Amino acid sequence: MASSSSSSSSTTSTITSKFIGLMLLLSLQLDLLLGSAIHLKNQTSFRPNREIQKLRRVEAYLSKINKPSIKTIHSPDGDVIECVPSHLQPAFDHPQLQGQKPLDSPYRPSKGNETTYEESFNQLWSMSGESCPIGSIPIRKTTKNDVLRANSVRRFGRKLRRPIRRDSSGGGHEHAVVFVNGEQYYGAKASINVWAPRVTDAYEFSLSQIWLISGSFGHDLNTIEAGWQVSPELYGDNYPRFFTYWTTDAYQATGCYNLLCSGFVQTNNKIAIGAAISPRSSYNGRQFDIGLMIWKDPKHGHWWLELGNGLLVGYWPAFLFSHLRSHASMVQFGGEVVNSRSSGAHTGTQMGSGHFADEGFEKAAYFRNLQVVDWDNNLLPLKNLHVLADHPACYDIRQGKNNVWGTYFYYGGPGRNPRCP
């Protein structure tokens, strides 16, 4: 009997131990589940708060940059163009411009020997015959989606921080350019062939432009830039668009594209900076180019922008700059793309027409009638020209000179190809 009682007691103790262990395990699992639920609840409540804060920043920026207008024009490409009174444009939010009005026309440089045959400059928004009244300027309305495509509100409308010149190791930006340096430059002029290159990644761009550059290639770099670009991130489509840019600190905290910050003062009621250009060139077909000139007004010292034959767009006030307050030390012309290698290979984003320079007229993109402005406000041909293609197997350049086009070059390429993997 004693043996039977001892065996029964041992069995009961084992069952009790197992039961307690099971209860502890269930309790632990319950604690873990409750903890996960609380953590998930905190996460889901945090995410909407973060999104709400971001949307509030976006709305605050939009209310600041989108000014009251006296007329609204709807472009066939989906853009909304607002006719904003000139004195209310974003430039006049700058402390040194508040209460002022745009300046009168400057002294233009004396023309050198050149042949021009630009057609009148057209943009899609104005092709219906609509225009902004005298005393106002057309501004492409910035939308919430425009800003949300950027990495942040602070970086919207700005280029990524990078130096102008890069060697073949790249850093993501690739160029095919000609440039002059070693003297003092007070402006530049060229006619730029307009195409609609394919951009294969939403965060890449393809552009063709003039750069006026001064300062070291460190944090004090000053640039003034103008040309055309295809940028899905900035504009939400693949149209070539007329653009401007400036910076005084190597693309860090100052400057922006177009009129997306206080800086460039627009004086023209017919051109919308950032709006699509039409028509564009076609392969083996009709060619279209735009004339651009940037120069320093000898009277007030501001940097003016002219489009085509005598169409003044506006100016960058001299006080925006440090080194460029006096002159440029380098002038650069050509194309630039972003190569993000998002697929693990070289991008297929095109530069220019998407064809190499040796294909020539009606096939490759070109710049023609390249000139610089000297200290006495004269347009002069380029001397001691340098030619640079970061990756000639992807995008190349070929320079020439004749009596009709003066100094010119063909440039561009398809990006990824058997020689550019």
183 a catalytic residue: no
* Active-site pick, 82, 174, 225, 306: 225
Tally of residues, the chain: 421
225 a catalytic residue: yes
Whole-angstrom Cα Rg for the chain: 29
d(CA 96, CA 317) in angstroms, rounded, equals 10
Distances (CA, A) of 136 to 103, 271, 307, 310, 322: 14, 11, 18, 19, 30
Closest among 234, 185, 268 to 79, alpha carbons compared: 234
Cβ neighbours of 252 (radius 10 Å): 12
Element (H, E) at 223: strand 222-230
d(CA 272, CA 121) in angstroms, rounded, equals 11
Structure tokens at 403: 């009596």
Closest among 284, 262, 299 to 92, alpha carbons compared: 262
d(CA 367, CA 191) in angstroms, rounded, equals 6
Cα angle: 33, vertex 36, 38; to 5 degrees: 110
* Active-site pick, 174, 336, 359, 362: 336
Q: Is 112 exposed, middle or buried (CB count within 10 Å of its CB: 0-12, 13-18, 19+)? A: middle
Our CA dihedral for 54, 60, 61, 65, rounded to 10 degrees, sits at 160
- Which residues carry out catalysis? 225, 336
